[in-house]
Amino acid sequence: MYTAGIDIGLENIKIVILKDASVAASLTAPSGGKERGKRAEALYDEALLRAGVSRNGIHRTLATGAGKFDADFADGNIVEEIADAAAARYFLKDASAAVDIGADQTRVVSIGADGAVTETVRNQKCMAGLGLALEYMAERLDFSIEEISLIPPERAEGVTVNDGCPVFAELDALELLNIGVPRDAVAGAVTRMTVVRLNSVLRDKDFPDRNRTVLTGGVAKNRAVTDALKALSGIDFVIPESPEYGTALGAALKAAD
């Protein structure tokens, strides 16, 4: 049986096609702003092609993410937290928490013994767009995403940016550049800010289990952030190979229910 999950995020659309709970195809592309409904549909058709299945061959397609209501072609939609929990259980059978860090949103989901969601936390405004902030800073500092992902907070060497708000952090970073601080030190400070903000969300309600927490979302690909977050929080996150597909995968899994 084929099922599909589409995660329409602020920055990117992610699609996962499952065949009997195994990934048959996965695909991602920029969301396209107000055109995201059309973009998602085009990407969906492309993913089906890669999976070698027609629309009629899909048992059910569920959309999730901030743009889930734009996916008119889907059979329905589910809230992101339920998809996150399903994905976490896919990656780790006894996962008790799922953390997803995307371009705009950060979510922490507690999972009960039966796999049901028992608590959820979404970031407050003071850390909205954390993933985007990292991307912008990489561009401003003339690093690729891959390069900035390897610059740990230690490289900051005492240089700091505001860790209460990514917008203020970006402003501080520009000031540091203007006064001649080396760009890798600024990048290290930005990474530290990111980790401090994330750690505060982890501690909002239920603190995730140190050994049974799955980390997904695009920011989970940033090695510098994940290493520093593991060190600061003490959580030994399980990070799948392609973490950006986590929520889409969860939606595809729930489509099989």
**Where along the sequence are the contacts to other proteins (CB under 8 A)?**
66, 78-82, 109, 116-117, 119-120, 122, 124-125, 204-206
| Nearest residue (CB) to other proteins, 123 versus 149 | 123
| Nearest residue (CB) to other proteins, 66 versus 189 | 66
Q: Shortest approach of other proteins to residue 227 CB, angstroms?
A: 28
Calpha distance 228→198 (Å, rounded): 11
257 neighbors 246 (Cβ within 8 angstroms):
no
Calpha distance 56→202 (Å, rounded): 41
Half-sphere exposure of 156 (CA within 13 A, CB side): 19
Q: Shortest approach of other proteins to residue 204 CB, angstroms?
A: 7
| Nearest residue (CB) to other proteins, 48 versus 97 | 97
| Nearest residue (CB) to other proteins, 119 versus 227 | 119
Could you give the dihedral angle defined by the CA atoms of residues 223, 226, 228 and 230, in that order, rounded to the nearest 10 degrees? Answer: -140
Q: Shortest approach of other proteins to residue 78 CB, angstroms?
A: 7
| Nearest residue (CB) to other proteins, 173 versus 249 | 249
Q: Shortest approach of other proteins to residue 100 CB, angstroms?
A: 12
Residue with tokens 């603190």: 207
Q: Shortest approach of other proteins to residue 187 CB, angstroms?
A: 29
